[in-house]
A and B are shown apart, each in its own frame.
Chain A
Amino acid sequence: MLIPCPLCGARELREFTPKGSAVTLHRPGEDAGPEVWHDYLHLRDNPAGPSRELWWHGAGCGAWLVVERNTLTHEVTGAHLAEEEAGP
């Protein structure tokens, strides 16, 4: 599996570490209710198809990436820097 790192180009899986769903980039506000926090912390979709995941390019440039991957086919359709969504 090759992941197209926006800084390094297509790199092999062994340079990366997965972190799970990219929902953690969008943290609820401090004043959000307990239900919202419960949802953010514990409830995850388990999509059969396109998914957005966080991957760390630890053995490469060290950047966090949002990788779009299809969980049915393992096809990687894109990747961009997580800082573009969450700020540096």
Chain B
Amino acid sequence: MTVLTPQGPLEGLDLHHGNLKLSAVALGRVSWIAPYPGTETALSHALQAACSMSFPGPGESRESTAGRILWSGRAQALLIGPQPSAAIEKCAAVVDQTDGWAAMRLTGYGAARALARLTPLDLRPSHFSRGRTARSLLGQVPGLIIANEDGFEILVMCSMAETARHEIENAMRSVAAREDIPKEPA
């Protein structure tokens, strides 16, 4: 029998330009969670019981041994990793979006400068510190950006993954090219 291997939209992505590196991230299961009105506290308890995490506030993310949960807009978050428990599904709308998202990680010195060419976000660590999430634009592609210890994780809708990769690669190339310009003597 033919064995079919599942493939992600950014399968094998591994780009290097100057100090910058862009690689694909395998997220595993992605569940979109939106609490029904008035159930935020109950949902946090259910999440705590199932995954040892509370529901994140605006721009926040939480991490535990079970997985991660990323704020992804008004009254919604993405649960990455675990299967949502029945208690979670009772107090929130839950949709399996595993095949809907593509994730990549941009790391290296100057990662913020490359992303700043595409997004209107203020990426300075004082404003966008480690663990913060933000919905914004990458060029024309809407996405979710997460600040990591050594760069950024970028989630975009699967259908726009190739456009996002192209835009980010152009930005990486431009930043790397500027680093190659010899400094003028003072």
0/1 interface trace, chain A 9-51, chain B, CB 8 Å (1 if under): 1111011000000000000000000000000000000000000
B76: chain A residues at CB < 8 Å are 62
Given the complex of chains A and B, what is the CA–CA distance between A1 and B13 in angstroms? 36
CB–CB A14/B58 < 8 A: no
CB–CB A14/B74 < 8 A: no
A8: chain B residues at CB < 8 Å are 58-59, 134-135
Residue from B59, B127, B137 having most chain A Cβ neighbours under 10 A:
B137
* Cβ-Cβ contact count across A and B, 8 Å cutoff: 39
Tier of interface size on chain B: 10 to 19
B136 on the interface (CB 8 Å rule)? yes
> How many residues on the A side are at the interface (Cβ–Cβ under 8 A)?
15
Instruction: Pick the contact of A14: B37, B59, B73, B137 (CB < 8 A).
Output: B137
CB–CB B37/A12 < 8 A: no
A67 on the interface (CB 8 Å rule)? no
CB–CB A15/B120 < 8 A: yes
Which of chain A's residues has its CB closest to B135's CB? Answer: A60
B122: chain A residues at CB < 8 Å are 10
Given the complex of chains A and B, what is the CA–CA distance between A40 and B37 in angstroms? 29
B58: chain A residues at CB < 8 Å are 7-8, 61
Which of chain A's residues has its CB closest to B137's CB? Answer: A59
Which of chain A's residues has its CB closest to B37's CB? Answer: A88
Given the complex of chains A and B, what is the CA–CA distance between A82 and B136 in angstroms? 20
A63 on the interface (CB 8 Å rule)? yes
Instruction: Pick the contact of B136: A10, A60, A63, A81 (CB < 8 A).
Output: A60
B142 on the interface (CB 8 Å rule)? yes
CB–CB A62/B137 < 8 A: no
CB–CB A11/B120 < 8 A: yes
Given the complex of chains A and B, what is the CA–CA distance between A8 and B58 in angstroms? 7
- Which residues of A in the span 59-86 have a Cβ within 8 Å of any Cβ on B? 59-63, 81
CB–CB B120/A14 < 8 A: yes
0/1 interface trace, chain B 63-79, chain A, CB 8 Å (1 if under): 00000000001101000
- Which residues of B in the span 121-148 have a Cβ within 8 Å of any Cβ on A? 121-122, 127, 134-137, 142
Residues in chain A within 8 A of chain B (CB atoms): 7-12, 14-15, 59-63, 81, 88
